[in-house]
Amino acid sequence: MIKYSKLREKLKVDSLNANSEDLAFFTHYLHNHKNGVSKSYEKKAKEYFQVINENLDIICEPEIQAMLPIKWDIPFPSSETPDFTFIDLFAGIGGFRIPLQELGGNCVFSSEFNYHAQRAYELNFGEFPFGDITKINIDIVPKHDILCAGFPCQPFSISGKMKGFEDTRGTLIYHVFKIIEKHEPQVVFLENVKHLVYHDNKRTLATIIQHLEELGYIVSKKVLNASDFGLPQNRERIIIIGHKKTKFDFSKIKKKSKSSLKNFLDKDNNFEYLEESYTILEDQKVQVSGLVFAGYRNKTIRKAGVRPGTEHLSRVHKQPNRIYSTEGVHPALPSQESSGRFWIWHENKVRKLTIQECYRIMGFPQDFKLLNNKAELYKQIGNSVAIPMIKSVTEQIKIQLLKKEI
């Protein structure tokens, strides 16, 4: 049996520097050669195998079958006995894939066009996602039970006025609708920032729901917060669930007790301390969100346009100037480090979270492998999903909609 690690070494996966559709076909085939979806990938995977076989020198037979099955020595292998299938669109680094696999799901297709995210995904799941969803021939997408998509939010030009979802043409969700129309998955599982609720005067969300209904789904939606699922992060996300027969009941989702940031921190690391002057308040305010406002960087006090007596507050006007106590939760990790990672007050010092802490407060397991690119690592985790939250929702999808035990 060939180990995947050996195969990827021979394939020189680490030094590939362009989006590789060949690698996507090949790795999708390796994962799915036993199940009914292999035909989607077989032809291209075999062609690619013919090209690379000479260089592999670990396989003596000219047929791809001689190499199968692969020994999946990766952090997150698929279940040997899956009890549902799913696809992972806008897959990022696999925030959906980890909990759905844990619950017995088999991922039969993934798509993500950011090369760094594709590489992180391959490193952890042994599968290179297909690229730009707008360019994918949807005939290769296999049938599946759950369609997962944490899609980027875009306005629609003529919301809901035209027949069908043609009015969303030119946007990314249009391609999601096309896949739903073709495959009619039992469950549609969408995730987005809370702002989607208000986006474009609420028209974006209304249009999405309208089109899902036109496609025959009964739709439920709710804003959930990562802090209700045992994570010390105030991260609100809208979850939209569609099913053809049953309305998903969010009230059955199991929540976990609240936790504070101090329980998730590294003991030692290369900490980045605040080296400029700051103020720590004696009376630290706990906000409704669970954030504990501890103080602020002593930036210049603005006087113009500021109400008398509130000048010092102008310092905390900008989010990156605020300091939060680790007795509370952390603000939502942003997808761009430049837009401000936050300062935390811990053991009488002010510092930022380390990368490992960022992954931990999103619920990523300790054995998730990180690539060596700091800016990308922050971007990827800020873009991702709170894993225990997705897991709790999926448990209920399994019970309520797939009618399976967990």
The residues annotated as belonging to the active site are 153
101 touches ligand SAM by CB under 6 A = no
Which residue in the set 24, 37, 45, 92 belongs to the binding site for ligand SAM (CB under 6 A)? 92
Give the span between the Cα atoms of 404 and 398, in whole angstroms: 5
Which residue in the set 172, 206, 274, 316 belongs to the binding site for ligand SAM (CB under 6 A)? 172
Contacts of 169 (CB under 8 A, 6+ apart): none
Which residue in the set 82, 95, 242, 388 belongs to the binding site for ligand SAM (CB under 6 A)? 95
Residue 127 CB, shortest distance to ligand SAM, in Å, is: 14
Give the span between the Cα atoms of 330 and 261, in whole angstroms: 7
User: Residue 336 in contact with residue 352, Cβ under 8 Å?
Assistant: no
DSSP 3-state of 7: helix
Which residue in the set 36, 62, 152, 365 belongs to the binding site for ligand SAM (CB under 6 A)? 152
User: Residue 115 in contact with residue 93, Cβ under 8 Å?
Assistant: no
By C-beta, is 19 or 106 nearer to ligand SAM? 19
Residue 268 CB, shortest distance to ligand SAM, in Å, is: 28
The first and second tokens of residue 41, run together, are 């990938």
Interface with ligand SAM (CB under 6 A), residue total 20
Q: Which stretch binds ligand SAM (CB under 6 A): 19-27, 322-330, 343-351, 378-386?
A: 378-386
By C-beta, is 225 or 384 nearer to ligand SAM? 384
Residue 390 CB, shortest distance to ligand SAM, in Å, is: 8
Give the span between the Cα atoms of 87 and 186, in whole angstroms: 12
List phi, psi (to 5°) of 17.
Answer: -125, 20
396 touches ligand SAM by CB under 6 A = no
By C-beta, is 167 or 191 nearer to ligand SAM? 191
Which residue in the set 48, 86, 90, 368 belongs to the binding site for ligand SAM (CB under 6 A)? 90
Of 43-72, binders to ligand SAM (CB under 6 A) are none
By C-beta, is 95 or 142 nearer to ligand SAM? 95
Give the helix/strand (H/E) hosting 181. helix 172-183
Which residue in the set 20, 27, 204, 383 belongs to the binding site for ligand SAM (CB under 6 A)? 383
Closest residue to ligand SAM, judged by C-beta, is 92
365 touches ligand SAM by CB under 6 A = no
Give the span between the Cα atoms of 27 and 21, in whole angstroms: 10
| Site track for ligand SAM across 103-142, x = CB under 6 A | --------xxxx--x--------------xxx--------
Of 241-260, binders to ligand SAM (CB under 6 A) are none
Spatial strand order of the sheet with 278-286 comes to: 278-286, 292-297, 322-325, 343-346, 349-352
Give the span between the Cα atoms of 255 and 74, in whole angstroms: 30
**What DSSP assignment string belongs to 279-326?**
EEEEEEEEPTTSBEEEEEE-PPPP-TT--TT-GGGGGGSSGGGEEEET
- Count CA atoms within 13 Å of residue 260 on its CB side: 13
96 touches ligand SAM by CB under 6 A = yes
Residue 97 CB, shortest distance to ligand SAM, in Å, is: 8
**CA torsion sign, 338 to 226 to 126 to 153?**
negative
Contacts of 195 (CB under 8 A, 6+ apart): 153
Residue 364 CB, shortest distance to ligand SAM, in Å, is: 10
Residue 91 CB, shortest distance to ligand SAM, in Å, is: 6
Give the helix/strand (H/E) hosting 178. helix 172-183
Q: What are the C-alpha distances in Å from 178 to residues 46, 65, 131?
A: 28, 33, 17
Q: Which stretch binds ligand SAM (CB under 6 A): 206-214, 219-227, 267-275, 383-391?
A: 383-391
Residues that bind ligand SAM (CB under 6 A): 90-93, 95-96, 111-114, 117, 132-134, 150, 152, 172, 383-385
